[in-house]
């Protein structure tokens, strides 16, 4: 309404007329985000620091730009093909348990590599903890054994054998979780075993005798590897070396369960439920005979 028409209104009505607004300035262009110079995967995941590496690949910290969260990315290297990448991701993804690493995504052929995207686990692996801080006390090893037995039971109930249980593949999280990682050697179970033709893969220090001799992996071979892992956690030493007095003292309360897990004959190896009962009740299992270093090596 013009100024002259406003003046023509009675004074008591003039406040009802809105005052003229100045013209809006021309719209400015929306600024574009700065161009990222960091390495990206699938235009979604931003790579951060390198966390570790092994025979199967390199693990990086990362950031999911789409869902605004931190992640871990495993860059598969070596001779592993796309089928192996999918097999590893699908193996871990079919297990729903707080003690098993959670797979989020798979990216195929980005930067010439295949990638597995997982939850980022704060903390350190068991091997690093023992190396940097020393062996765990028996009570903590007992708790560790219970949690790993529960997680392995979930793996086996899903029809899988992990195939590479070892200190490097057990993650001790800052929030108290104990998580089994790296399903690169996981296999489908047929009955209680998965027979692998050719040379057995995995870490020789934790392989069960039947895995080395026959390429046979199963629930029992995972339990054998768990026994070795718990021994290393409690002593900082390998069970196939001469036991020092200090290691004997540390392993004392747990020796029966660990020896039962490491029985050289898979038919006589303790089952996961029996080991869980023994650890939860702090009772001893009737132990297998004590293996000397020479006998243990001969069994291999």
Q: Could you tell me the domains of the chain?
A: 40-118 (3.30.200.20), 123-299 (1.10.510.10)
Report the distance separating Cα 292 and Cα 239, nearest Å. Answer: 9
- Confidence band (pLDDT; 50, 70, 90) for 71? very high
Q: What is the mean pLDDT of the chain?
A: 83
| pLDDT at residue 292, rounded to an integer | 44
Contact 165, 183 (CB under 8 A): no
Element (H, E) at 74: strand 69-76
Residue 54 to residues 76, 101, 153, 169, 266, Cα–Cα distance (Å): 10, 17, 26, 11, 28
Report the distance separating Cα 243 and Cα 114, nearest Å. Answer: 43
Report the distance separating Cα 236 and Cα 247, nearest Å. Answer: 8
Residue 91 to residues 25, 59, 75, 183, 195, Cα–Cα distance (Å): 59, 18, 17, 7, 17
Report the distance separating Cα 206 and Cα 166, nearest Å. Answer: 7
What separation, in Å, do the N-terminal and C-terminal C-alpha atoms of the chain show? 99
Residue 30 has pLDDT above 60, yes or no: no
- Active site annotation includes 164: yes
- Report helix, strand or coil for 114: strand
Residue 87 is given by DSSP the state H
For the record, the structure tokens of 161 come out as 């054998």
Q: Is 74 known as a binding-site position?
A: yes
How many contiguous H segments (helices) and E segments (strands) does the chain have?
10, 13
Residue 284 has pLDDT above 60, yes or no: no
Mean pLDDT to the nearest integer, 41-56:
90
Report the distance separating Cα 127 and Cα 228, nearest Å. Answer: 12
Residue 11 is given by DSSP the state G
Dihedral sign for Cα atoms in the order 152, 197, 211, 58 = negative
Q: What is the dihedral of CA 136, 100, 205, 76, to 10 degrees?
A: -130
Contact 194, 188 (CB under 8 A): yes
Contact 84, 184 (CB under 8 A): yes
Looking at per-residue pLDDT, the higher value among 132 and 241 belongs to 132
| pLDDT at residue 10, rounded to an integer | 64
Mean pLDDT to the nearest integer, 61-65:
96
Contact 120, 76 (CB under 8 A): no
Compute CA 44 distance to the chain's CA centroid, rounded to the nearest angstrom: 22
Compute CA 267 distance to the chain's CA centroid, rounded to the nearest angstrom: 29
The DSSP secondary structure of 120-160, one letter per residue, reads: PPPEEEHHHHHHHH-PPPHHHHHHHHHHHHHHHHHHHHTTE
Residue 124 to residues 118, 167, 226, 240, Cα–Cα distance (Å): 16, 10, 18, 25
pLDDT digits (tens, 9 = 90+) for 192-250: 666 554 445 667 889 999 999 988 899 999 999 999 999 999 999 999 987 788 888 88
- Exactly one of 114, 137, 143, 164 is catalytic; name it: 164
Report the distance separating Cα 35 and Cα 173, nearest Å. Answer: 34
| pLDDT at residue 31, rounded to an integer | 44
């Amino acid at each position: 309404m013009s100024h002259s028409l406003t003046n023509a209104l009675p004074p008591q009505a003039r406040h009802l007329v809105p005052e003229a607004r100045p013209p809006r300035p021309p719209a400015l262009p929306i600024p574009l985000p700065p161009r990222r110079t960091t390495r990206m995967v699938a235009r979604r995941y931003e790579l951060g620091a390198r966390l570790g590496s092994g025979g199967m690949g390199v693990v990086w910290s990362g950031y999911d730009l789409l869902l605004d969260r931190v992640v871990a990315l495993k860059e598969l290297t070596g001779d592993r093909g796309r089928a192996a990448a999918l097999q590893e991701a699908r193996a871990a993804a079919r297990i729903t348990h707080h003690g098993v690493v959670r797979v989020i995504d798979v990216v195929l052929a980005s930067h010439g590599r295949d990638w597995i995207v997982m939850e980022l686990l704060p903390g350190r692996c068991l091997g690093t903890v023992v190396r940097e801080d020393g062996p765990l006390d028996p009570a903590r090893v007992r708790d560790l054994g219970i949690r790993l037995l529960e997680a392995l039971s979930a793996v086996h109930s899903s029809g899988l054998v992990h195939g590479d249980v070892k200190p490097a593949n057990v993650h001790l999280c800052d929030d108290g979780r104990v998580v089994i990682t790296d399903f690169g050697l996981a296999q489908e179970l047929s009955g209680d075993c998965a027979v692998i033709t050719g040379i057995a893969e995995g870490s020789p220090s934790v392989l069960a005798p039947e895995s080395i001799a026959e390429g046979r992996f199963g629930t029992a071979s995972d339990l054998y590897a768990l026994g070795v892992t718990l021994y290393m956690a409690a002593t900082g030493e390998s069970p196939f070396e001469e036991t020092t007095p200090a290691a004997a003292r540390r392993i004392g309360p747990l020796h029966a369960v660990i020896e039962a897990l490491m029985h050289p004959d898979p038919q006589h190896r303790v089952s996961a439920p029996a080991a869980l009962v023994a650890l939860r009740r702090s009772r001893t299992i009737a132990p297998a005979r004590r293996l000397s270093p020479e006998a243990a090596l001969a069994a291999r």
